Structure 1
Amino acid sequence: MAGRKRVPIPATGMTAFRVGRVLGVGMPGAYPGRRRPPPSPGRPGPRRPRRGKAAGHRLPVGWAATLGSAATGPSGGGAPGRVRHRGPQEGADVSHLEFYLRSYPQPDDIRAQAAAAEEDGWDGLLLTDTQNLSMDVVGSLHLAASATSRLRLGTAVTNLVTRHPAVVASTFATLHHVTGGRAHIGLGRGDTALELIGTRPPSADEFEQQVGRLQTYLRGDVVDVGGLGSRITWLPLEGETKVPVDVFGSGPHVIGVGARRGDRLTVTVGAEPERVDWAVQTARRARASAGLDPDDLDVGAFVVVGVGTDEAALDALVRGNASISAHFQRGSTALLSRTDAAVVAEVTDHYDEYHHGLEHAAQSEALSADFLRRFCVIGRPEECVERLGRLVSSGLSHVTVVGGSRDVDPAVRRRSDTWWPPRCCPPCGPSDARHRHATTGADEMTGDDRRSVLATGGANAVGRGLGVDLAARCTTASRLVVDGGFVSQ
């Protein structure tokens, strides 16, 4: 390997070893001389984005209070604090609960979608990264960044094979810099992305090594690559936080990787409370076994959600994405009932990677209505709020919501833009709750007032359920359907 200087890696003291005298001496931008320029006009600084009234944006009216009631029971008790510090038996405080919307990298309309997601009060927008099935995610994330100021932006998920850990670190640290600290790396093993190019996904051990290297690159430390000291010379940037790494996992081994190596963990085990409880406790045990504090780990859930009244329409809406989540369970079928294990086996036997996430695919057709209703959160708004509340009570800090499949009929989405009957409005909490109504100009609004506005055409401002403006913002297949009745022929 002529031309490459091998740098000895000390057995200990990797943090100290990263200083500029080893690599990057005299190089422009080398650590530690790099300083961040002052933010340009219109671009937020590195401080973590504020939420709620102080941030100057509208949060979805009523959904958090309602979900909190579902999670904590009638008393709504419990001391304030992070959800992750509370065990399943204690209920959960939702004051810091975060909601992320999972969507697709569609550069033609991603700016409008991202702006709508931010206006609707979502905490983040996460895009898929499967090179053979959709356009490149990085370009879409930068377009989304140009249309937003608060929304966190990232992947659900990328992998560390098609994108080398150093490339991922540099790419997302750049996004983090230009957005004032809003980048978010969602990682998985990369099953579909890799199988479509004839490459096997990494084992859990290999994946753990990859995640460890990514974290080291993001910190600006040195990675030992076969004796070569490799690092990103311009990281870290003074005054900027490290990009958070969110590991997505469904089986005990990858969940363990996320618990040990990730900044947060998102479990993809469906929507049954027992399965989510199992995943949360598996993560906590793995973290404790590594000598780390389990209370310092953010654990969330990846949940397929559809809101409406027409059961057949909801089945069609979520079927494609539900087949993805079901396919993820193939490595841990011993934890499933015999019936569900048989469904997962049938999905796996018929899985067509080029129809990944589509409603009209052999693997999607293997899912029964009963399986969909247990594995996804679908139903009327109040039913969905109650079910999500039960999941949150497992100790979740965040929920990544997945809506319609990639091939949902565009006409269905267009009808959902304008059809929101008041009967589908989610509960708004106490009747005397008062809210700001930015569109109509009303300073204060009660739950009854909100329903009145919905009935008279103001749904675009306040017609939101589970954190989504479902009446006028269903611009892509990943949006939730408001009421399944609108697809009736």
Structure 2
Amino acid sequence: MSPVEFGLGLQSDKQAGQYARLARRAEHAGFDVLTVFSDLMYQPPIFPLLEMAAATERARLGAACLNPYSMAPYEIAGQVAALDLASRGRAYLGLARGTWLGAVGIDQPRPLTALHETAQIVYRLLSGDTGGFAGKMFRLAPDTALRYHVHRPDPPLLIGAWGPRGAALAGRIADEIKVGGSANPAMVPVIRDRLRVGAEQAGRDVDEVGIVFGAVTVVDTDGAAARARARTEVAMYLAVVAELDATVELPSDLLKRVRTLVDAGDHDAAGRLVPDDVLDLFAFSGTPDQVAAQAQALVDTGVRRVEFGTPHGLDDERGVDLLGTAVLPQLRR
């Protein structure tokens, strides 16, 4: 069994230079993995990732996640190759179907096929396989090859998924599965059972696939202020993730009221509707002791990596500092 890792997830909404500064702080504090989200209408994650690669020496780096609908598989191969070269072999490849792409007019047909074929094409290109590929959605003509140096042919693959079919795919082909937007320990055995289906089909041990849970994180010595900020953040995606969690039943009127307020732009009012017990399922929040206890509960269920997502604190830098100085030491004892 691999040792438990702790990661930091960053939104790509910052100015040049901020990523390097936060990455140096995070690596010095002992974080193992630095992730940049690839959310719609934010900066492409390759920009902050390359900046962070130059500022760090040890931490693994990757986007969570790229999708094959807004970026062609050969371009995904190019981005992970660039990051792996810049980081001297510390990149991972994150793939997911993507969210909210309808807002920019992109359909998402056959997501499992798209993800599987994208992974096959990426690794064929990285390994120099010029035999071509004829899939149901994507193709490579024979003799098609990358025209630049590749550091590694096989950076680890992470698939972002919640559902049974996506998790089974991860069980067949991935090194990790990320369940984004969850801090719920009860969901871990559900994900493991879903992984096992695919792992057994591929003749793998389910424990070969690391389970990653990540969510909005707000930590501060003022726990009440941290939880109030987290409520506002969680409200923006609660209606999406709550419907994916097989262990949670929320009143339908709660999700409807939260969604209505979010759609109207009143995120603070939406956040105030989120009860404490629901908040703890979908965010890490409160004092360092509270956040550490939530992360430890996930570790105790067998999560391989816990990822503390943006905004980290009442401001990013203080949040990263508190996670490094007051949360991680409790988890590494």
| Shorter-normalised TM range | 0.7 to 0.9
- How far residue 102 of structure 1 moved from its aligned partner, in angstroms, is 0.5
Is 1:467 the counterpart of 2:328? The answer is yes
Structure 2 equivalent of residue 305 of structure 1: 217
Pick one of 145, 168, 173 that aligns with 1:232. Answer: 145
CA distance in 2, matches of 1:164, 1:208: 13
Give CA-to-partner distance per residue, 1:5-39, whole Å, 9 cap, x none: xxxxxxxxxxxxxxxxxxxxxxxxxxxxxxxxxxx
Residue 233 of structure 1 aligns to a residue in which SS? coil
- How far residue 203 of structure 1 moved from its aligned partner, in angstroms, is 3.8
Structure 2 equivalent of residue 173 of structure 1: 81
Instruction: Calculate the aligned-residue CA RMSD, in Å.
Output: 3.4
TM-score (norm 1): 0.57
CA distance in 2, matches of 1:126, 1:320: 22
Change (3 A) 1:328 1:201: farther
- How far residue 169 of structure 1 moved from its aligned partner, in angstroms, is 0.7
Structure 2 equivalent of residue 184 of structure 1: 92
Query: Mind listing any 5+ residue stretches in structure 2 that lack a counterpart?
Result: none
Change (3 A) 1:241 1:467: farther
Q: Which amino acid aligns with 2:52?
A: A
Pick one of 279, 283, 300 that aligns with 1:393. Answer: 300
CA distance in 2, matches of 1:107, 1:118: 19
Is 1:124 the counterpart of 2:38? The answer is no
Aligned partners of 2:5 and 2:304 also within 8 Å: yes
Structure 2 equivalent of residue 162 of structure 1: 70
- How far residue 282 of structure 1 moved from its aligned partner, in angstroms, is 1.6
CA distance in 2, matches of 1:164, 1:228: 15
- How far residue 227 of structure 1 moved from its aligned partner, in angstroms, is 7.6
Is 1:338 the counterpart of 2:240? The answer is no
CA distance in 1, matches of 2:235, 2:127: 36
Q: Which amino acid aligns with 2:73?
A: P
Give CA-to-partner distance per residue, 1:382-417, whole Å, 9 cap, x none: 333233222112222111111428xx8xxx439948
TM-score (norm 2): 0.81
How do 1:12-31 residues align onto structure 2 when only pairs under 5 Å count? Answer: none
The structure with more strand, counted as a fraction of residues = 2
How do 1:41-120 residues align onto structure 2 when only pairs under 5 Å count? Answer: 81-82=1-2, 96-105=3-12, 106-108=14-16, 109-120=18-29
Change (3 A) 1:316 1:211: farther
Q: Which has the larger radius of gyration?
A: 1
Change (3 A) 1:242 1:350: farther
Pick one of 235, 251, 258 that aligns with 2:163. Answer: 251
Aligned partners of 2:181 and 2:283 also within 8 Å: no
Structure 2 equivalent of residue 413 of structure 1: 315
Structure 2 equivalent of residue 288 of structure 1: 200
Pick one of 129, 135, 143 that aligns with 2:51. Answer: 143
- How far residue 189 of structure 1 moved from its aligned partner, in angstroms, is 1.3
The structure with more helix, counted as a fraction of residues = 2
Pick one of 133, 143, 150 that aligns with 1:223. Answer: 133
CA distance in 2, matches of 1:220, 1:323: 45
Give CA-to-partner distance per residue, 1:283-306, whole Å, 9 cap, x none: 123321343322321122113333
- How far residue 464 of structure 1 moved from its aligned partner, in angstroms, is 0.4
Structure 2 equivalent of residue 211 of structure 1: 119
Q: Which moved more, 1:307-316 or 1:395-404?
A: 307-316
Change (3 A) 1:155 1:414: closer
Structure 1 equivalent of residue 282 of structure 2: 375
- How far residue 173 of structure 1 moved from its aligned partner, in angstroms, is 0.8
CA distance in 2, matches of 1:163, 1:153: 19
Instruction: Give me the identity figure in percent.
Output: 22
Change (3 A) 1:144 1:416: closer
Q: Which amino acid aligns with 1:182?
A: R
Give CA-to-partner distance per residue, 1:218-247, whole Å, 9 cap, x none: 33333324583374335884x735222211
Change (3 A) 1:395 1:124: same
- How far residue 157 of structure 1 moved from its aligned partner, in angstroms, is 2.2
Structure 2 equivalent of residue 6 of structure 1: none
Change (3 A) 1:390 1:130: closer
Aligned partners of 2:133 and 2:140 also within 8 Å: no
Query: Mind listing any 5+ residue stretches in structure 1 that lack a counterpart?
Result: 1-80, 83-95, 421-425, 427-462, 469-489
Q: Which amino acid aligns with 1:371?
A: V
> Between Structure 1 and Structure 2, how many residues are aligned?
320
